[in-house]
Amino acid sequence: MNDDDDLLEEKLAASSGQNGPGDRAKRAEAERKARAAKKLRENLARRKQQARARRAGEADETIGLPAAKTDESC
């Protein structure tokens, strides 16, 4: 994740020579995109960890679950 932060800093440093009115908006947009990408990566990692934890446990019981009706549970 530090690589992404470094890339963002490089982009900001490269564009810091410009002082036009759109420069601030471009920087803000780049920062928003970087934050969103970081949040998405964190969310994906969290979901993968949850899936791994579920696989490690026992299988869910289908008795009593309306969406998991089988012939013997009707």
pLDDT of residue 18: 55
pLDDT of residue 22: 85
3-state secondary structure of 64: coil
pLDDT tens digits, one per residue of 9-59: 666 665 555 567 789 999 999 999 999 999 999 999 999 998 888 887 766
- Confirm if 13 and 27 have CB atoms less than 8 A apart: no
CA distance 4 to 57: 35
CA distance 1 to 18: 27
Q: Structural domain boundaries of the chain?
A: 23-54
pLDDT of residue 52: 84
9, 25, 32, 33, 52 from 21: Cα distances, Å: 20, 7, 18, 19, 48
pLDDT of residue 71: 60
